[in-house]
């Protein structure tokens, strides 16, 4: 995700605290917020980025932050700002270099196999519906046979509902236990990213199964964005079919990797999923003890959506509510 920065940037906020370094920049019809810097090393890198931003040809790009400026992990989320929706708010999240050991992408696989012929119908979805599948996948994880019609109707103002039905019904074809087993094996062993992408998508049929869901969440850590992106999309609106609550004990380690910053493009979706599924307070030590920095960074942010996601998650997992007082939340985390 990227867009060009033009014109003169006016610095609004340049502040240090004991725990974090924050930056908010404003220009005509655009505001940029950067969070996640905690160290002197990070501050020096950020100075170089701010200097580069002055060049009108500079692009905000997460990949460049990582590969050019050696930020361990980065994400860029852009929001159109109400009420006129004619301005942009760009929220940039970094993992500070002092926390680079917390990043655990999955890169190596035992083998790279030929494309799985049995999954050809899934592969065709990405080519036949290339212009609409992106928005559809973002809701697909929350869709089942009983709620399909209501969801399709509620999203018809922006979604191709005929494509939505075809994609849903095609994925549903792969609902046998053998399909699940093949998908899980593929995600563990096959370096062919097309096969892994298709494997994640067909696991949508088994999201209430702990083992299948574990591999969807683990796929968020795959280094190929076409694989991790599908996994992130599937959890975006996922909610269990029964009472909406889920015991996340089986996935605590994988969730902790993401909460610590592995794949920041999935960070908000994971926090929202855990909040929506009423994550138990008993999981707080496993998910937050000795960490939680990125959540507190979000909590202290200026952008309303980003800070609200962090606050709602903290309230759910703690059973308490310290509002947006980051110091009180930090003290609570220290006591875990």
Element at 232 (helix H, strand E): helix 225-235
Query: What pLDDT is attached to residue 242?
Result: 67
**pLDDT at position 6:** 36
CA-based nearest residue to 35, from 95, 89, 103: 95
Q: What is the pLDDT of residues 132-190, one digit of tens each?
A: 999 999 999 999 999 999 999 999 999 999 999 999 999 999 999 999 999 999 999 99
**What's the pLDDT score for residue 57?**
75
> Which residues have C-beta within 8 Å of that of residue 231, sequence separation ≥ 6?
200, 216, 217, 219, 220, 222, 266
Residue 27, classed as helix, strand or coil, is: strand
User: Alpha-carbon distance 91 to 268, whole Å?
Assistant: 12
Tokens 């299948």: give the residue: 212
Of 161, 168, 159, 166, which is closest to residue 140 (Cα–Cα)? 168
Residue stretches of the chain with pLDDT short of 50: 1-20
* Helix, strand counts (H, E) of the chain: 16, 5
Rounded Cα gap, residues 103 and 92, in angstroms: 17
CA nearest 143: which of 108, 123, 170?
A: 170
Distance between start and end Cα atoms, the chain: 36
CATH 2.60.40 fits 117-334, yes or no: no
Rounded Cα distance between 177 and 197, Å, is 18
b/e map 183-210, b = 16+ CB within 10 Å: bbebbeebebbbbbbbbbbbbbbbbeee
283-to-163, 211, 248, 286, 316 alpha-carbon distances in Å: 39, 18, 8, 5, 11
> Domain limits of the chain?
10-102, 117-334
Please count the other Cβ atoms lying within 10 Å of the Cβ belonging to residue 329.
25
Count the alpha carbons within 13 Å of 184 in the hemisphere toward its beta carbon: 16
- What's the residue count for the chain? 336
């Amino acid at each position: 995700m990227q867009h060009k920065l033009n014109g003169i940037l006016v610095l609004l906020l340049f502040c240090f605290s004991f725990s974090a370094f924050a930056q908010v920049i404003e220009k005509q019809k655009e505001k940029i917020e950067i969070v996640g810097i905690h160290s002197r090393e990070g501050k020096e890198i950020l100075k170089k980025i701010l200097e580069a931003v002055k060049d009108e040809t500079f692009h905000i790009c997460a990949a460049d932050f990582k590969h050019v400026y050696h930020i361990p992990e980065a994400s860029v989320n852009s929001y159109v700002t109400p009420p006129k929706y004619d301005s942009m708010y760009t929220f940039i999240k970094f993992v500070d270099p002092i926390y680079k050991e917390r990043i655990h992408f999955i890169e190596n696989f035992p083998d790279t196999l030929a494309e799985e012929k049995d999954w050809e119908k899934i592969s065709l979805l990405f080519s036949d519906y290339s212009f609409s599948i992106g928005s559809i996948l973002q809701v697909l994880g929350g869709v089942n046979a009983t709620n399909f019609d209501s969801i399709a109707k509620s999203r018809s103002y922006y979604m191709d509902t005929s494509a939505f039905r075809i994609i849903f019904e095609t994925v549903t074809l792969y609902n046998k236990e053998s399909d699940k087993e093949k998908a899980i094996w593929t995600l563990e062993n096959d370096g062919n990213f097309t096969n892994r992408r298709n494997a994640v998508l067909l696991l949508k049929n088994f999201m209430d199964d702990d083992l299948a869901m574990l591999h969807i969440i683990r796929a968020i850590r795959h280094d190929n964005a076409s694989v991790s992106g599908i996994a992130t999309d599937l959890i975006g609106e996922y909610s269990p079919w029964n009472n909406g609550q889920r015991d996340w004990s089986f996935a605590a380690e994988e969730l902790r990797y993401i909460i610590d910053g592995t794949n920041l493009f999935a960070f908000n979706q994971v926090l929202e999923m855990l909040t929506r599924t009423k994550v138990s307070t008993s999981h707080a030590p496993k998910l937050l003890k000795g960490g939680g920095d990125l959540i507190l960074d979000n909590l202290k942010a200026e952008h309303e959506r980003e800070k609200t996601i962090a606050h709602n998650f903290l309230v759910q997992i703690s059973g308490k509510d310290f509002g947006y007082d980051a110091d009180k939340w930090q003290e609570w985390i220290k006591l875990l």
